[in-house]
Structure 1
């Protein structure tokens, strides 16, 4: 048959090569229904080069949240988010939180079939004041510290490594004095320390930890979770409750919603790290994120709930 569709496939070199069984399985499904070009970019510039030559083809990302982040970032800054149409994701990372939140299959063949048969889901973006983006969740404080802890053990434990990293970081830290402003209203003045500030378009981090369980992609606003669980027992309990999203019911946790969020350290001693879609940056004194409503789209299974 003559394929009527054409895909540019970006395969994450860190997640596997063209010989990897999962990659091969996904590509076999894609090639059965479309013309496919596979590119394995080694960095941001090679991603941009590949996307400049997408020529109207839909893009399929074989990788995790970081790979999707890099692809969408390049499309945004190249002005090609509309030109390439919906992005499809075959989740081959460790956490795959964006894919989980969208109801995408974790099986590579089933996910590749969604690229062929799925429907576009409007997706919001967060744009920060340094030009960076967030496609799923960004968090400051103990969550960012937990990522470093999880890196040491995730090879052996997979997504469970994040939970253990969160427990370890939660027990050891005393929090950060941060001023948080949402839509020009100060919602935390920084006089009391915060354990974690989370800004979510999607709901989970760290391979399924439901940090922002109420978030819905594509609704045009970000959900913000402020956790002030800074006592020794409270820190440990918060870290354990985070996995299932049960922390939201705690008295020392507050949730707000908005389209512009600023987090500021009250002084140099409270400079903080941020984790955006699994990538850690900082320490920094300030960062602002603004929602770009329905800036891109992602293919999801037909019949999936809107904003899943």
Structure 2
């Protein structure tokens, strides 16, 4: 068989445990239509070794969004992400396949496996930070600290507790959701969108058409939007969710768009 027909099929251990039947079906379809080497890594090191030894075989992952992200990250750090297209057969709980679904990967095991064999590569953008972290789907920085005034300088007395109980019994007090905010500096290509003197509820970044779409959401009013090639967020310690991975805390991070940095096999047309 020619090199494009040779596959390295990496089966994630979580997929094997969660839906062994779908894994078996996908493996049978891929083995019937190609020269497939099947790998069953039990941990990150075995996963990395399998990819490093793939030679000319096209990498295919059977698993959930986390499996795809692991493969993209490993190949990016080895500077081999642009060498060819990746393929995926999504197997896992519905909530763990949102990125695959958004990218256009078929959800059924048979349809996805046939796409691996018969589909075409589509080049996709990537967000990359200065620590070699990657973002395939989207980035979000939600506020995680409580709103000001949520705690008291003095513990409540027994009398205060009794009065509160009486008020509750007579007329229940409506529960108001606390607004959580950040104090962050957000820059898009060096242009200041928000500074630490203005609270924000969340910051989100998503790459599309070779650019990054940035949305800064204040507690009130309309969101601030911008399009850029690089986004820098700084300020007090903050955590961020890159795809499904929660990272941090950090005080500064810059994400840069890499247009068409990687390829994914998707249905033709």
**Length-normalised TM-score, structure 1:** 0.71
Unpaired runs of 5+ in structure 2? Answer: 147-175
Aligned: 1:226 with 2:192: no
Aligned: 1:33 with 2:39: no
Deviations 1:246-298 (A, max 9, x none): xxxxx432221111111112x3xxx2211112011122211111111111100
Where 2:232 maps in the other structure, the secondary structure is strand
* Alignment match, 1:88: 87
Q: Which runs of 4+ in 1 moved over 3 A?
A: 1-4, 170-173
Match of 1:294 among 260, 263, 267: 260
Deviations 1:131-162 (A, max 9, x none): 2111111111149x9xxxxxxxxxxxxxxxxx
* Alignment match, 2:154: none
* Alignment match, 1:180: 186
Name the CA distance, whole Å, in 2 between partners of 1:12 and 1:142: 33
Aligned: 1:139 with 2:144: no
**Length-normalised TM-score, structure 2:** 0.80
Shift of 1:79: 2.5
Name the CA distance, whole Å, in 2 between partners of 1:33 and 1:11: 17
Deviations 1:38-76 (A, max 9, x none): 223233322221111111111111122221111011112
User: Rg larger in 1 or in 2?
Assistant: 2
Shift of 1:29: 1.5
Shift of 1:124: 1.4
Shift in alpha-carbon separation, 1:18–1:195, aligned structure 2, 3 A: closer
Where 1:29 maps in the other structure, the secondary structure is helix
Shift of 1:102: 2.2
The answer as to whether partners of 1:120 and 1:300 remain within 8 angstroms in 2 is yes
Match of 1:263 among 230, 233, 238: 233
Within 5 A, what are the aligned runs for 1:207-226? 216=208, 219-226=209-216
The answer as to whether partners of 1:92 and 1:108 remain within 8 angstroms in 2 is yes
Shift in alpha-carbon separation, 1:273–1:28, aligned structure 2, 3 A: same
Unpaired runs of 5+ in structure 1? Answer: 146-169, 202-215, 232-250, 304-308
Shift of 1:186: 0.9
The answer as to whether partners of 1:44 and 1:74 remain within 8 angstroms in 2 is no
The answer as to whether partners of 2:12 and 2:62 remain within 8 angstroms in 1 is yes
Name the CA distance, whole Å, in 1 between partners of 2:250 and 2:177: 22
* Alignment match, 1:14: 14
* C-alpha RMSD over aligned residues: 2.5
Higher strand share goes to which structure? Answer: 2
Q: Count the aligned residue pairs.
A: 237
The answer as to whether partners of 1:48 and 1:78 remain within 8 angstroms in 2 is no
* Alignment match, 1:117: 118
Where 1:61 maps in the other structure, the secondary structure is strand
The answer as to whether partners of 2:63 and 2:88 remain within 8 angstroms in 1 is yes
The answer as to whether partners of 1:221 and 1:293 remain within 8 angstroms in 2 is yes
